[in-house]
Amino acid sequence: MLRKVTVGLALLLLLAAVGFYLLTIPQRLDATAIAAPGSGVAARGERIFWAGGCASCHAAAGAKGADRLWLGGRVLETPFGAFQAPNISPDKAQGIGGWSLGDFANAMQRGVDPDGQHLYPAFPYTSYIKMTKGDVADLHAYLLTLPPVATASPETQLAFPLNIRRGIGLWKLFYRGDDRPVVTAKPGESAAVAAGRYLVEGPGHCAQCHTARGLNGLGGLDTTAWLAGAPNPEGKGRVPNITPHASGIADWSAKDIAEYLKTGFTPDFDSVGGAMVEVQENMARLSDDDRAAIAAYLKAIPAVPTATLGETDK
Amino acid sequence: MANARFLMAGAIVVALAAPVLAQNLGVIKQRQTIMEGNGKAAKALVGYAKGETPYDAAAVAGLFAEMSSGAAKFGTLFPADSKTGGKTEASPAIWDKKGDWADAVAKFQADTKAAAAAKPATVEAFRAEFGKVMGNCKSCHESFRVKLQ
């Protein structure tokens, strides 16, 4: 009897291990979802670089001006531990200079590195999955024109169980997302709203900070409260609700939003602050049309009340 | 009787809790008022900078002087008992990175003082001072202000 139980338990464990292994195999892009090698145009990729906010995590903290093009990586402090945003400069040894477009696209849109390792979703591939393959190729071409940085990126060291990268495969089964829009198009929607949807939901990855997550922050983005604000991942305070709700930015016109992204000043001449400063400086590099598109989209999304007010100020 | 005991217990709870909750709401309100004033002044100044309002050297000098006197007081309004309460958006970094904070406050004071002293006569001269003053908003808020909503 005891023998049978032991054998049974061993079999169950084996089954669980095999199941975990199979469920967490890194999934890569289909070959058809990757642009033709060499098709990327660096000049177009610069726009995607600023829209995507690459420098905000991969350039040194506090870097200004041209220093923001030195993408040697930095450490991101979060409640889950310190994530290493790696060197993505075109250095062949320490950066991504040796990566093919396919390698790059799989990191951007599937969160898998060339060694087949899962990347932590602190890297917003759940947003970048909505990008076109052409934009990914253009961005790759642009990154290769930037200065190479020869500093090594240390491995991210998190506490158990988050240190088991293979486990990210399970997370992805639920939260990886797809290329479908979050806010579906209404009939007669303007071209600006559509363009804004792409920039906000895709490369801009605004929701990664402005939308709350399930499972105490470990889960996926709560699309029922899309862009309705979230706790500040860096500590005290909140990331604001940017939906057209009274508790959000209903009283901002589309022009106000575009102006804020350009200059960093709100309609009341309060200024941008915190982590949004770097984001705004990225947005300031876009065209007036792109900023107007983002604003048009933010005026068109569902108005959602801010979930929990006051928890931050005792 | 039961009622009196209840009241007594309540009084003790309040007495015990009060020191823990001691918050210097007065200074928090003062610094919020200064910042609101800065916002209003900035809004008026932007009108001149963009040419939407005809340039008025006396009005501009007055607004810069207002900002400068607010800035002179501002650094003294962050005692240790004013970290929370009153919907303050002060970042804990103000108390954790005292040196950087002092530098940021000193720069804000110097730039507003220089602008007030300059009394720019032309809109071109004004724009240069205005740019220097406004640069303080973002750089200081990046490290030392957190949004509550």
Q: What is the DSSP string of B1-69?
A: -HHHHHHHHHHHHHHHHHHHH---HHHHHHHHHHHHHHHHHHHHHHHHHHTSS---HHHHHHHHHHHHH
Asked whether residue B12 carries a pLDDT value surpassing 70, the answer given is: no
By Cβ distance, the residue of A236, A238, A265 closest to B149 is: A238
Give B94 to chain A, closest Cα distance, Å.
13
State mean pLDDT over B68-93.
Answer: 95
Do B92 and A235 count as a contact with CB atoms less than 8 A apart? yes
Interchain contact, B138 vs A247, CB within 8 Å? no
Distance between CA atoms of B105 and B71, rounded to whole angstroms? 8
- Give the pLDDT confidence score for residue A310 in this predicted structure: 43
CATH number of the B23-144 domain: 1.20.120.10
- Nearest by CB to B141, from A238, A241, A271: name it: A271
Alpha carbons within 13 angstroms on the beta-carbon side of residue A123 total: 26
CB contact under 8 A, B141 and A273: yes
Contacts 24+ apart (CB under 8 A), A26-33: A26/A110, A26/A112, A26/A116, A26/A117, A26/A118, A26/A169, A27/A110, A27/A112, A27/A172, A28/A106, A28/A110, A28/A112, A29/A102, A29/A105, A29/A106, A29/A109, A29/A110, A31/A102, A33/A105, A33/A109, A33/A133
Q: Is the pLDDT of residue B1 over 50?
A: no
Beta bridge partners, A211, equal A229
What is the distance between the alpha carbons of residues A38 and B32, in angstroms, rounded to a whole number?
55
pLDDT at B7 (0 to 100): 52
Instruction: Give me chain B's average pLDDT, please.
Output: 89
Which structure tokens are listed for B26? 């007065």
Task: Tell me, rounded to whole angstroms, the distance of Cα A168 from its chain centroid.
Answer: 15
Band of pLDDT at residue B22, cut at 50, 70 and 90: low
Q: What is the pLDDT along chain A (314 residues), one digit of tens a residue?
A: 788 889 999 999 999 999 999 999 999 999 999 999 999 999 999 999 999 999 999 999 989 999 999 999 999 988 889 999 999 999 999 999 999 999 999 999 999 999 999 999 999 999 999 999 999 999 999 999 999 999 999 889 899 999 999 999 999 999 999 999 999 999 999 999 999 999 999 999 999 999 999 988 889 999 999 999 999 988 889 999 999 999 999 999 999 999 999 999 999 999 999 999 999 999 999 999 999 999 999 999 999 999 764 444 33
Angstrom distances, CA of residue A151 to CA of A73, A88, A104, B40: 9, 10, 20, 46
> What is the per-residue pLDDT for A311?
44
Contact B72, A220 (CB under 8 A): no
Q: Which residue has the higher pLDDT, B11 or A279?
A: A279
3-state SS assignment for residue A127: helix
A236/B43 CB distance under 8 A: no
Helix (H) or strand (E) holding A56: helix A54-58
Backbone angles phi, psi at B21, to 5 degrees: -90, 0
Find the closest chain B residue to A242 by CA distance. Answer: B149
**pLDDT at res. A207:** 98
Q: Which residues of A touch B38 (CB under 8 A)?
A: 269
User: Is B137 within 8 Å of A265 when comparing Cβ atoms?
Assistant: yes
pLDDT at B108 over 60: yes
Q: Answer for the pair B99, B131: CB distance below 8 angstroms, yes or no.
A: no
Q: Which of these, B26, B11, B138, B28, lies nearest to B83 by C-alpha position? A: B28
Structural domain boundaries of chain B? 23-144
Instruction: Burial-class residue A22 by CB neighbours within 10 Å (0-12, 13-18, 19+).
Output: exposed
pLDDT at position B21 is: 54
pLDDT at A233: 86
Which one of B40, B142, B146 has the shortest CB-CB distance to A236?
A: B146
- Residue A307 has what pLDDT? 73
Contacts of B88 in chain A (CB under 8 A): 313
Which residue among A272, A273, A306 sits closest to B149, beta carbon to beta carbon? A306
Chain B residues whose CB is inside 8 A of the A269 CB are: 38-40, 42-43, 46
Which of B39, B87, B92 lies nearest to residue A236, judging by beta carbons? B92
